[in-house]
Structure formats: C-alpha cells, structure tokens
C-alpha cells in the first residue's frame, strides 16, 4: 500500500481488500481516487481489466456506461458505482429507438458503437470500440460494407479520415467537454510554446485535430509520453489526465489549455463517496440478461480485434 496514503485512502483499501471489492478508476477521476484504485486506465483498459479481475465485486469510479460495461462483461459479479448520477451526455444523445430507426434506414451498414453509450444501444450494435482502438475496429470491417458509427461524430470523423473510408455514416453526437474546445486558444498556446508536443484526444473537432502533433486516447497519451524524448507536452483532453502523466514522468512538463477541460460528470465522484461505497455498497449497476447477452457479443468482438 502507498505509504503516502491519507487516512481515508488507507481505510478504503482496507475495506475493499477485506470485502473482495476491486476498485477501477478512469484516468479522468480525481488524483486521490486514482491512487486508491487497484487499476486505473482508459475505457478499453478498464474493460479488459474488469474481465481479468478475480474480485467478488467491482467498484467503477467513472461514469455509468463504464459500470454498465463492467456489468455486461462480469455477469457473476456485483458491479457498483460510487455516484449513481455520474452519467455521460454523449451517451444520452442516442437511444435504442433512434438506433433501430437508423438501422432500418441503413440496412446493410455495420453498426460500430463507441463504448460511451448505454447498454441498450450496445445491444443493438454489431461491434463496440473505444477511442484507442476505433481505427483498428473499423479497419477490421470489409471495405465494401458501409459503417454506421455512433454516437461520436468527432471520433467517427477521425476514423473516417485516418482510413480514407468514405462509406461511413456518422451520428451527430459529441462530447461536450472536447467539442467546444477554443481552437484559437490552442493555436496561440502552440505558437507561444513551439517546442512542446501537442497531444489531443480524438473526441475533439476536425478543426482542432488539425493542430495536433499526435492524436491519442488517454491510455495512448500515457504510453506516448513515457516513450518520448521530448520534455514538454501540451495536453488537450480532460485535465485530470495530467495526474498519471506527472506521476510517471516527474521530469517532464505538462501544459493545459486555459481554461482547462473539465468533465463535471467525472468530478461527481469524490473520495468520500468511494469510502461510503466500500463501507456499504448501495448503487449497484445491473443490465437485464436479454440486453447483456446481445451487448456482450458486441464488446467481445471489440476485445477480439
């Protein structure tokens, strides 16, 4: 256990280990929550770890779709979330009725579903993807087949341009944190610090992504910085990613846009709520078996790519 843990962090890990609760935290969670987690990563890494864990229960520190994904992949384990109101506005932009309509309108299309979506939407999709493997997932689909990409038009657009794949239909959803990035401020930041490498998340708009030196998911950003010889980086995604970056690279400099990108939904989870969740797990996330059976197929196809 980390010797620098606060009293509340020590208590969280003691209770979690005593009860067999595995704590997963996304890279956008507060630093003190990342520290207390048994595993921290991006959505793909969390999904993979959830399958591998041997704990009797899983506590997902993130937003609801992440906990649903863990529940879909782990039907024999109880999955909990510290804050039940931690949702994702992008996931709410598409529902199962909308997707059914889109499938009728595009009967030959393969539906690729970004994991930032509800369990019900995943269940109606052919294959899931995350920001770290979206290009690889779409590349695995025969080129002659049209692809309906939901719900993030910015990630979908990035994939479309990366693969030069014109037969992609993009649903007009977006992440409100990345979509409304002030592109002018990023240009000015880059001009004022030309020696820094600009890393940007693919949920940003095409206009913004044109400025990036490297486009990557949060997990890919961590790997890129670790291997890079550069000493300074401009990080364009949710601010909390700087925490694991600094921990792993104390000799490197990380610059954020001003104002920084903040996800209010991720910040709904606090260290006190994590303590309450391991003391008395209350907010269990469940998925009906009929939905789970279909959704797990889409997730497993992703994990196999």
- The C-alpha atoms of residue 274 and residue 9 are separated, in whole angstroms, by 9
Tokens of 275: 């303590």
Torsion of CA 42, 47, 49, 51, to 10 degrees: 180
Chain centroid, CA 238 distance in Å = 11
In a structure prediction context, what are the per-residue pLDDT tens digits for the chain, which is 305 residues long?
A: 566 789 999 999 999 999 999 999 999 999 999 999 999 998 878 888 988 888 889 999 999 999 999 999 999 999 999 999 999 999 999 999 999 999 999 999 999 999 999 999 999 999 999 999 999 999 999 999 999 999 999 999 999 999 999 999 999 999 999 999 999 999 999 999 999 999 999 999 999 999 999 999 999 999 999 999 999 999 999 999 999 999 999 999 999 998 899 999 999 999 999 999 999 999 999 999 999 999 999 999 998 99
Q: Which residue has the tokens 């959704």?
A: 295
Report, in angstroms and rounded to the nearest whole number, the Rg of the chain calculated over CA atoms: 19
The DSSP bridge pattern shows strands 110-114 and 147-150 to be parallel
List domains and CATH numbers for the chain.
Answer: 7-86+267-287 (3.40.50.10800), 91-176+290-304 (3.40.50.10800), 177-262 (3.40.50.10800)
- The C-alpha atoms of residue 139 and residue 156 are separated, in whole angstroms, by 12
With DSSP H G I counted as helix, E B as strand and the rest as coil, what are the percentages for the chain, rounded to 5?
Answer: 45, 15, 35
- The C-alpha atoms of residue 83 and residue 267 are separated, in whole angstroms, by 10
Residue 259, class by beta-carbon neighbours within 10 Å (0-12 exposed, 13-18 middle, 19+ buried)? exposed
Tokens of 89: 């506005």
- The C-alpha atoms of residue 85 and residue 267 are separated, in whole angstroms, by 11
pTM of the model: 0.94
Q: Which residue has the tokens 């197929």?
A: 297
- Longest CA–CA span in the chain (Å) reads 58
- The C-alpha atoms of residue 256 and residue 258 are separated, in whole angstroms, by 6
**Helix (H, G, I), strand (E, B), or coil: what is residue 30?**
coil
Query: Phi first, then psi: what are they for 144, rounded to 5°?
Result: -75, -15
Let me know: does 74 contact 51? Beta carbons within 8 Å.
yes
């Amino acid at each position: 256990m980390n010797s620098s843990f606060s009293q509340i962090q020590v208590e969280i890990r003691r209770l979690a280990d005593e009860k067999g609760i595995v704590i997963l935290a996304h890279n956008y969670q507060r630093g003190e929550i990342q520290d207390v987690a048994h595993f921290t990563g991006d959505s793909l890494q969390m999904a993979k770890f959830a399958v591998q864990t041997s704990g009797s229960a899983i506590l997902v520190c993130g937003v609801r779709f992440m906990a649903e994904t863990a529940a879909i992949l782990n039907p024999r384990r109880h999955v909990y979330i510290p804050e039940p109101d931690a949702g994702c506005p992008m996931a709410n932009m598409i529902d199962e009725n909308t997707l059914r309509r889109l499938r009728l309108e595009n009967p030959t299309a393969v539906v690729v579903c970004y994991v930032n979506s509800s369990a019900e939407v995943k269940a109606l999709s052919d294959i899931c993807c995350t920001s770290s493997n979206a290009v690889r997932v779409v590349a695995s689909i025969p080129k002659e087949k049209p692809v309906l990409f939901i719900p993030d038009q910015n990630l979908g657009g990035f994939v479309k341009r990366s693969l030069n794949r014109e037969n992609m239909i993009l649903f007009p959803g977006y992440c409100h944190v990345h979509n409304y990035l002030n592109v002018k401020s990023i240009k000015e930041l880059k001009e004022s610090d030309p020696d820094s490498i600009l890393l940007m998340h693919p949920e940003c708009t095409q206009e913004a992504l044109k400025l990036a030196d490297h486009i990557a998911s949060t997990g890919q950003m961590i790997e890129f910085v670790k291997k890079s010889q550069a000493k300074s980086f401009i990080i364009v995604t949710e601010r909390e990613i700087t925490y694991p970056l600094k921990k792993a690279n104390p000799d490197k400099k990380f610059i954020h846009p001003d104002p920084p990108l903040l996800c209010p939904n991720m910040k709904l989870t606090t260290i006190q709520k994590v303590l309450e969740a391991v003391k008395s797990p209350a907010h269990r996330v469940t998925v009906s078996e009929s939905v789970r059976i279909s959704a797990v197929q889409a997730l497993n196809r992703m994990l196999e790519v």
